[in-house]
Amino acid sequence: LESAFETASRTDLEARRFERAVRAAGQPELLLRAVEMRLASESDPARLAELRADRARALAHVGRREEALDAWIAVLEGSPASAAAHDDVRALARETGRSDRYAAALRAMAGRAGGEEGAGLLLRLGDVYQDDLRDLQRAAETYAAAEPALAGDALLAALRSLARLGAETGDAGLQT
């Protein structure tokens, strides 16, 4: 087994082959170990982001869900515009009952990003408040805070979210 890990660590192609074989064999602990070995030796930022996402998935698969959530949040901090990563972290946050952790990360990332990117993160945060945490007041405040920095489709999404929230709470002012 150690020689297989050593061989896999020599080249990216060998590492990918090894990881595919480990996945096919249903060995998530070995997959996690292989991904962590590659992470330790990788320097390319794009590959690092992919490997961090692979590590988060592997951690979740082996039942280390709190660590997986932290790993996914680290992935998001490096790629806050990744819709796929947001979907994965939000689903895991819901499953673990830690939507508050995802909300805190979104709030921090939105504050650092500012502008349209920050506003997009605020829209996601509003959705988490509304749908996952059922904090309708904070959802309304968050959508409203995002609105000034948005234009086009993103602005329409914010207005639809506010209208949906208004319909849910019976607040006619939010629906207009």
Dump the DSSP string for 82-141.
-HHHHHHHHHHHHHHT-HHHHHHHHHHHHHHH-HHHHHHHHHHHHHIIIIIS--HHHHHH
Residues 115, 46: Cα–Cα separation, whole Å: 24
Cα separation, 57 vs 31, in Å, equals 10
Residue 156 to residues 145, 159, 174: CA-CA distances in angstroms? Answer: 14, 5, 14
Say if residues 168 and 135 touch (Cβ distance below 8 Å).
Answer: no
Q: 133: how many CB neighbours lie within 10 A of its CB?
A: 16
- Nearest Cα to 88, choosing from 63, 60, 114? 60
Tokens, residue 155: 């602005």
10-residue stretch averages of pLDDT, the chain, 176 residues long: 64 78 84 85 85 91 94 93 93 96 97 91 95 94 85 70 76 62
pLDDT at position 25 is 86
Which pLDDT score, from 0 to 100, does residue 164 have?
Answer: 77
Query: Considering Cα of 138, then 139, then 144, then 148, what sign does the dihedral take?
Result: positive
State the pLDDT at residue 29: 87
Number of H helices, E strands in the chain: 11, 0
pLDDT (0 to 100) of residue 131: 95
CB 57 within 8 A of CB 31: no
CA distance 35 to 67: 15
* pLDDT for 148: 81
